[in-house]
Structure 1
């Protein structure tokens, strides 16, 4: 497993995380054909799995953190919220509202079909540099609870399993779809985010998506990209 989630309280991680397998979507009109989806039932996170998720010598750029909104007065505009977090070049990507009860949330902007777990490519990085990309900061603005979905393997590990020459590639969501279609092992972890909670995660590197599965209310998330040091925001776990 290459996924690493920063935490000092395993019980707090276990309380908000569960896991399931993965499959590809076939014949689902609301999904792009081949989209990677979690397949239940969801299982509670075990102490052994929580221990596997603890970072060892993980660099900041490859680490997942669950975080709280910063203390103090709110910023003048939401777009400036990340200005005090240590990266003057951070970019506000905007926000997106997800409907209630959605297994995954990200749509294809061409036809509206959902794309399932995927890899971001804002930084357009080659295989050898894919672990150096900016991390995504996200906050759940509510009103409903939402989830962060994460794959257990990063896209470089996926490419190594698929290709004899991964160093020559630009890793892509299509690699993740091909890997999953072959039935190769992939776990999906689901992390609960209540309103006012968020994450910082290497979405250029890790398969991910949002989810509102089982939640009766929609939620809006807002996003930034930046190079943030570990611990720049208070941890939830």
Structure 2
């Protein structure tokens, strides 16, 4: 299984779509009204996202357009480090979200084993297409409500959407207290501006790594996993020994 497409659904299908989302099914693209957001915030505050014994949940989102193939292969090799870092703190479930090609955006179910995630990722080839970061943020928002997502990681090098639309979605995640860690490969100024703002609005962090720099990306992924598994205190401890964690904690609210 390589994930199911994220696509719009009618209002009558919302309940079934939420159930499908938890197992990797098609996901709705639905704008939220102000009362809808208020309900989500109330539910989020009732949750204890880093309660003792709880499994950490991390949405791991990747740009899988054609230019991303080298970094996709690198992320596939490094993803086990996220699980290893989390294992020292508790446990971690990851939901992989990726977009590629013409309007294709897919999400897997929750994965708790690094070998399973690596096998799945190895079957996915990058394809040319435009960015779909808005769909990634919408999916993260749904999962934040459905299954208490603790953090979102996004790895990409471009942004080709309306930045104000992305900021609106990011703001909703900020209300739900779900930080987004925006990891930018390369030096595109348009992407940097958008990624920084998404991180700021969610209480997350933006970091840039050099093209093909596996060591830099490894540190960033480990830091995000530490936060998802153990919260801010775990990230603070890790920041004493790794530069990636220090870069994240220095930006987070």
Question: TM-score w.r.t. structure 2 length?
Answer: 0.27
Structure holding more helix per residue: 2
Structure holding more strand per residue: 1
The structure showing larger relative contact order (alpha-carbon pairs under 8 Å, at least 6 residues apart) is 1
Question: TM-score w.r.t. structure 1 length?
Answer: 0.28
